[in-house]
């Protein structure tokens, strides 16, 4: 947090204190609870056919379908083509978006189409770099799913090509553009939680689907699945439908829980606090339950060191993912500061500010005589550590998006298409994408090397 940002600055801007308490719905023990509404307006236009953005999908799997569904809700966007290596997904694309869309197994046919303005790249991680670079060189605007890359070096190649071509490239961490992130950033910059000391992120799952045991279609065979093309630069192995449909479980094609889940949290964290990322990581975990042939852990705990910068104090971050959480699952993202805590979601932000106990209580006083206790209390009272202001500036506020909020996924595509139309800039460009992906990939680097690893967040390279 910048030096000129203080607790008083936040209280003044946010309207906390006595004035806020007087209008709060509930007052409890000198604190308050209030609920406020987040909101966002969108530019409304009617687009002629010639003004539409023609979109193509490369990788019509689970995430590709969710991405395209969100994208097509934005005004003035039309899907013209889809690509996938499994024929059944091409049938599904037509089922979802109409018989008139073009379908192919060869992404190069998509890039060669003159009527395609933008592409969604939602393929396995080991294909991200190649297709994203070729798409930019072909003059397409690119929405590349997270993580941007499978390894650190690939990210710098994407950054260079984007700079050389001037092509627009949005990295698809869909919560990035959400109302929750936007509000949390404003609150943090206003000093709502003081200096950040800890980021606590966790994601618990308790289902086979949540652990990436996706269903394999009964017609999957060498005729319906182009397995050789899927392998790409990965090691050559015999035809295997499990590897194709559950590729996240294998290091050859994916990036494990770090690349799938950590990267979302890093995108949010780095955005809220305007950070370039951590300097050190230490990871542990193991394969505890899903012994289905995968070679990535299903329980991961990683700890990160963030250095002091102009926008934040030095702090630590804790990331935890458990794919066999007997509690039933859940997740959280909590910024813990010296003066408060923010729990951030795509649709909401909860800020809790509590009073810091500065005077001794019965626990420590029990060791002294009654006379000594009186003297100690008198000494602390003279310092006025717990005054009226400290009593008033505490409480809980919840900001929530309205029920008709279009969602963070929509907002991320809205940002992308508005940038294509020249009305704003990309919120998560390749530089930002590598900072998020690089930080996440440090977890794998540390886990498999069984030691801490160091990272230069400025140059985005291992040190």
List per-block mean pLDDT (blocks of 10 residues) for the chain, which spans 463 residues.
Answer: 50 43 33 78 83 97 98 97 98 98 98 98 98 98 98 96 98 93 96 97 97 98 98 98 98 97 97 98 98 97 98 98 96 96 96 86 91 90 71 83 95 97 96 97 98 97 96
Judged by DSSP in three states, 389 sits in helix
Predicted local confidence at residue 387, as pLDDT: 64
pTM (2 d.p.): 0.90
Q: How far apart are CA 128 and CA 146, in angstroms?
A: 9
In contact, 245 and 239? CB cutoff 8 Å: no
What are the structure tokens assigned to 350, written together? 């909860």
Predicted local confidence at residue 24, as pLDDT: 33
Q: How far apart are CA 83 and CA 108, in angstroms?
A: 9
Give start and end residues of each alpha helix (H) in 333-454: 362-365, 370-382, 388-392, 408-420, 430-449
Report which DSSP code applies to 399. Answer: E
Taken in order 379, 385, 388, 392, the sign of the CA dihedral is: negative
- Residues forming beta bridges with residue 351, ordered by sequence position: 342, 397
Predicted local confidence at residue 392, as pLDDT: 57
Predicted local confidence at residue 453, as pLDDT: 98
């Amino acid at each position: 947090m910048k030096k000129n940002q203080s607790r008083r600055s936040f209280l003044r801007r946010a309207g906390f204190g006595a004035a806020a308490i007087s209008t709060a719905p509930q007052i409890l023990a000198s604190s308050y609870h209030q609920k406020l509404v987040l909101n966002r307006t969108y530019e409304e236009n009617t687009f002629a056919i010639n003004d539409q953005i023609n979109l193509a999908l490369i990788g019509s799997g689970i995430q590709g379908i969710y991405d395209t569904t969100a994208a097509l809700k934005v005004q003035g966007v039309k899907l013209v083509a889809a690509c996938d290596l499994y024929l059944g997904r091409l049938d599904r694309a037509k089922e979802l978006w109409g018989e008139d869309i073009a379908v192919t197994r060869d992404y190069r046919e998509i890039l060669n189409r003159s009527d395609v303005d933008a592409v969604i790249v939602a393929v396995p991680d080991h294909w991200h770099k190649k297709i994203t670079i070729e798409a930019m060189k072909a003059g397409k605007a690119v929405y590349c799913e997270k993580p941007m890359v499978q390894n650190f070096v690939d990210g710098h190649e994407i950054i260079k090509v984007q700079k050389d071509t001037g092509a627009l490239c949005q990295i698809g961490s869909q919560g990035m553009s959400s109302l929750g992130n936007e509000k949390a950033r404003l609150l943090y910059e206003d000093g709502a939680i003081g200096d950040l000391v800890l980021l606590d992120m966790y994601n618990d799952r308790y289902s086979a689907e949540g652990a990436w045991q996706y269903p394999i279609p009964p017609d999957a065979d060498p005729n319906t699945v182009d397995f050789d093309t899927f392998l790409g630069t990965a090691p050559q192995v015999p035809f295997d439908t499990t590897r194709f449909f559950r590729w996240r479980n294998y290091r050859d094609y994916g990036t494990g829980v770090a690349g799938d889940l950590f990267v979302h949290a890093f995108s949010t964290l780095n955005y809220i606090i305007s950070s370039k990322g951590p300097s050190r990581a230490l990871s542990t975990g193991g394969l505890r339950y899903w012994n289905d042939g995968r070679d990535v852990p299903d329980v991961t705990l990683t700890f990160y060191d963030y250095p002091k910068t102009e926008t934040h104090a030095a702090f630590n971050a804790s990331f935890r993912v458990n794919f066999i959480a007997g509690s039933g699952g859940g997740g959280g993202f909590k910024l813990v500061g010296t003066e408060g805590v923010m729990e951030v979601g795509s649709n909401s932000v909860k800020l809790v500010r509590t009073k810091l106990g500065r005077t001794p209580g019965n626990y420590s006083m029990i060791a002294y005589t009654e006379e000594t206790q009186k003297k100690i209390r008198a000494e602390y009272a003279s310092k006025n550590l717990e005054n009226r202001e400290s009593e008033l500036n505490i409480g809980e506020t919840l900001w929530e998006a309205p029920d008709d909020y279009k969602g963070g996924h929509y907002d991320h595509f809205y940002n992308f298409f508005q940038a294509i139309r020249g009305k704003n800039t990309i919120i998560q460009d390749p530089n930002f994408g590598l900072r998020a992906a690089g930080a996440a990939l440090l977890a794998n680097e540390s886990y498999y090397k069984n030691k801490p690893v160091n990272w230069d967040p400025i140059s985005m390279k291992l040190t």
